[in-house]
Amino acid sequence: MTQLAFYFDQTRCIACNACAVSCKDWNGVRQGPVTYRKVSTEFGSEAFPETKVYNMSEACHHCEDPACVTSCGLQAITKRPDGVVVINRNKCEKAQSCITACPYGAIAIADDVQEQSFGEEKWKVDHPAQKCHMCYERLDAGLQPTCVAACPQRALDVNTYAVLVAKYGEIERYEDLGTKPNFYIKKRA
Amino acid sequence: MKLITTRRNFLKGVAATSGAAALVGCSKSDNNDNWGNIEVDDPTMPNTMEGEELYRGIAAHNCGGRCVLTAHVKGGVVKRFTTDERPDLNMVDGYVRPSMQRRACVRCRSKKEWLYRTDRLLYPLKQTRERGDITGFERITWKQAFNEIADKLVAIKTRDAGRTITTPRGPITTTGCEGFYFHYSTGDGAAFPRARPLSAKLLQVLGGDYAYRDDYSYPCHYFAGRFNVGESSHSVNSMTDLVNSELIVLWSWNGSENIQNTNSSWIVTQARDIGVPVVSVEQWLSKAAYTLSTGYKDETLNVNVPPVVSPVSGTDAALAAAMMYHLVDTYATSATAPFVTFIKNYVHGFFDDPTATDLDTNDHSVPDGASYSAYLFGSENTLVTRGINGAPSVYPNKIGYNVRTYTIDGEPDPLLNKYSPIYGQTPKTPEWAERITGVPAQVIKDLAEAVYRKKTTILCGGGFQRNTEGEQGIMSVGLLGFITENFGIRGASVGWNGNGVSGGASTPSDPGTKGPFVALRTTTASNIQAMKNFDTSKLTNTAMISATLPRSQGLAMGNDKTFPCFMWQDAIELGGTGQSRWNSPEIANGPQIKVLLNFGGNCVINQQGHVNLSAEICKDKSYCELIVSTDYFMNASCLYSDYVLPAAMAFEKNFVSNQDEAVLYSPKAVQPPAEVLSDFDITMGIAEAMGYDDQMFVITASGTAKSYYNDEEIIKAQYDAGFNETNFGMTFEDFKKAGIITPGQGAGVKIKYAAFRSNPATAPLNTPSGKFEAYSRAAIENYEARGYNNNDLTIDLVGGEIVTKTDGTGSANAAKGRYVYPIPMYIPLIEGRHACDNDDSVPALNASNASEAINNNTANGATKHPDPMGTNAAGYTMRLHTWHMMYRSHSTLASNGLLTEHYKVNSNGEITFTKSDRTASFMAGNEIYDEDIFEPVFLHPTDAAAVNLPENGALVYLYNDRGAIKVYARSNPLVHPGEIMIGQGSWTQFEAETTVIEGKTYRVDRGGNANSVNNIRPSRICQGMSLANDCKVGIKLV
Average pLDDT (B869-887) is 97
Q: Please classify residue B164 by burial: count the beta carbons closer than 10 Å to its beta carbon, then call 0-12 exposed, 13-18 middle and 19+ buried.
A: exposed
Amino acid identity for residue A54 in this structure: Y
Residue B677: pLDDT above 90? yes
Mutate to test the interface with B, among A1, A22, A151 (most CBs of B within 10 A): A22
CA–CA dist B35, B484 (Å, integer): 63
Say yes or no for a CB contact (<8 Å) between A73 and B26: no
- pTM for the full model? 0.93
Per-residue model confidence (pLDDT) at position B722: 66
Average pLDDT (A43-64) is 97
Q: Is B981 helix (H, G, I), strand (E, B) or coil?
A: strand
A180 CB near a chain B CB, below 8 Å? no
CA–CA dist B957, B459 (Å, integer): 36
Per-residue model confidence (pLDDT) at position B914: 81
pLDDT tens digit sequence for B136-189: 999 999 999 999 999 999 888 888 876 665 555 556 555 566 677 777 787 888
Residue B850: pLDDT above 70? yes
Please, which residues have CB within 8 angstroms of residue B578's CB and are 6 or more apart in sequence?
B167, B168, B588, B589
Say yes or no for a CB contact (<8 Å) between B16 and A73: yes
Residues written for chain B = 1038
Backbone φ and ψ for A133, nearest 5 degrees, come out as -120, 25
Per-residue model confidence (pLDDT) at position B504: 35
Say yes or no for a CB contact (<8 Å) between B940 and A175: no
Per-residue model confidence (pLDDT) at position B583: 97
Say yes or no for a CB contact (<8 Å) between B974 and A51: yes
Per-residue model confidence (pLDDT) at position B847: 87
Residue A71: pLDDT above 60? yes
Residue B742: pLDDT above 70? yes
- pLDDT category at B402 given cuts 50, 70, 90 is very high
| Cβ-based contacts of B273 with chain A (< 8 Å) | 11-12
DSSP B363: B
Most confidently predicted of B29-38, B573-582, B921-930: B573-582
Of residues B227 and B159, more confidently modeled: B227
Residue B869: pLDDT above 90? yes
pLDDT tens digit sequence for B106-117: 999 999 988 998
Residue B694: pLDDT above 70? yes
pLDDT tens digit sequence for B591-622: 888 899 999 999 999 999 999 999 999 999 99
Residue B714: pLDDT above 50? yes
| Cβ-based contacts of A152 with chain B (< 8 Å) | 103-105, 263, 265-266
Directed axis angle between helix B316-331 and helix B441-453, to 10°? 70
Residue of B656, B598, B650, B722 whose CA lies nearest to B192: B656
Per-residue model confidence (pLDDT) at position A22: 97
Say yes or no for a CB contact (<8 Å) between A29 and B35: no
- pLDDT category at B889 given cuts 50, 70, 90 is confident
- What is the distance in angstroms between the Cα of B42 and the nearest Cα belonging to chain A? 7
pLDDT tens digit sequence for B903-955: 999 999 998 888 766 665 544 444 444 578 999 999 999 999 999 999 999 99
Of residues B892 and B727, more confidently modeled: B892
Residue B433: pLDDT above 90? yes
Residue B674: left (phi > 0), alpha (psi -120 to 50), or beta?
A: left
Say yes or no for a CB contact (<8 Å) between A76 and B35: no
Residue B581: pLDDT above 50? yes
Residue B41: pLDDT above 70? no
Mutate to test the interface with A, among B2, B5, B91, B914 (most CBs of A within 10 A): B5
Average pLDDT (B803-820) is 97
Q: Give first-to-last CA distance, chain B, whole Å.
A: 35
Per-residue model confidence (pLDDT) at position B698: 85
CA–CA dist B228, B223 (Å, integer): 8
Nearest beta carbon to residue A31 from set B48, B307, B913: B913
A119 CB near a chain B CB, below 8 Å? no
Residue B481: pLDDT above 80? yes
CA–CA dist B209, B562 (Å, integer): 11
Most confidently predicted of B154-163, B496-505, B854-863: B854-863
What's the complex ipTM?
A: 0.97
HSE-CB for B862 with a 13 A CA cutoff: 28
Residue B442: pLDDT above 70? yes
Per-residue model confidence (pLDDT) at position B725: 67
- pLDDT category at B35 given cuts 50, 70, 90 is very low
| Cβ-based contacts of B17 with chain A (< 8 Å) | 72-74, 93, 95, 97
A139 CB near a chain B CB, below 8 Å? no
Per-residue model confidence (pLDDT) at position B142: 98
Supply the mean pLDDT for chain A.
94
- What is the distance in angstroms between the Cα of A3 and the nearest Cα belonging to chain B? 12
| Range 63-92 of A in CB contact (< 8 A) with B | 67, 69-76, 78-81, 86, 88-91
Per-residue model confidence (pLDDT) at position B500: 47
pLDDT tens digit sequence for B527-565: 555 556 788 899 998 877 665 555 545 455 544 457 888
- pLDDT category at B499 given cuts 50, 70, 90 is low
Say yes or no for a CB contact (<8 Å) between B39 and A18: no
Max Cα distance, chain A (Å):
56
A120 CB near a chain B CB, below 8 Å? yes
Alpha helices of B79-218 — where are they, by DSSP H?
106-109, 111-115, 142-160, 195-204
- What is the distance in angstroms between the Cα of B932 and the nearest Cα belonging to chain A? 15
Amino acid identity for residue B609 in this structure: G
Say yes or no for a CB contact (<8 Å) between B269 and A153: yes
Per-residue model confidence (pLDDT) at position B524: 41
Are B786 and B533 a contacting pair, CB within 8 Å?
A: yes
Per-residue model confidence (pLDDT) at position B609: 93
CA–CA dist B541, B429 (Å, integer): 35
Per-residue model confidence (pLDDT) at position B400: 97
| Cβ-based contacts of A29 with chain B (< 8 Å) | 44
Nearest beta carbon to residue A178 from set B10, B25, B901: B10
CA–CA dist B982, A161 (Å, integer): 41
Say yes or no for a CB contact (<8 Å) between A14 and B265: yes
Supply the mean pLDDT for chain B.
87
- pLDDT category at B365 given cuts 50, 70, 90 is very high
Nearest beta carbon to residue A49 from set B8, B105, B310: B310
pLDDT tens digit sequence for B405-430: 999 999 999 999 999 999 999 999 99
- pLDDT category at B727 given cuts 50, 70, 90 is low
Per-residue model confidence (pLDDT) at position B798: 98
pLDDT tens digit sequence for B292-321: 999 999 999 999 999 999 999 999 999 999
The DSSP H or E segment spanning B953 is none
Say yes or no for a CB contact (<8 Å) between B81 and A22: yes
Listed as own residue / partner, the contacts of B39-43 with beta carbons closer than 8 Å and 24 or more positions apart are: B39/A88, B39/A90, B40/A137, B41/A90, B41/A122, B42/A88, B42/A89, B42/A90, B42/A120, B42/A122, B42/A123, B43/A117, B43/A120, B43/A122
CA–CA dist B899, B300 (Å, integer): 47
The count of CB pairs under 8 A between chains A and B is 266
Please, which residues have CB within 8 angstroms of residue B930's CB and are 6 or more apart in sequence?
none
Mutate to test the interface with A, among B18, B77, B83, B106 (most CBs of A within 10 A): B106
Mutate to test the interface with B, among A8, A25, A64, A136 (most CBs of B within 10 A): A25
CA–CA dist B983, B260 (Å, integer): 16
Per-residue model confidence (pLDDT) at position B485: 98
Residue of A92, A88, A72 whose CA lies nearest to A80: A88
Q: Is B1004 helix (H, G, I), strand (E, B) or coil?
A: coil
Per-residue model confidence (pLDDT) at position B532: 67
Per-residue model confidence (pLDDT) at position B498: 66
| Range 35-64 of A in CB contact (< 8 A) with B | 38, 40, 42-43, 48-56, 58
- pLDDT category at B723 given cuts 50, 70, 90 is low
Per-residue model confidence (pLDDT) at position B508: 30
Per-residue model confidence (pLDDT) at position B6: 29
CA-derived radius of gyration, chain A: 17
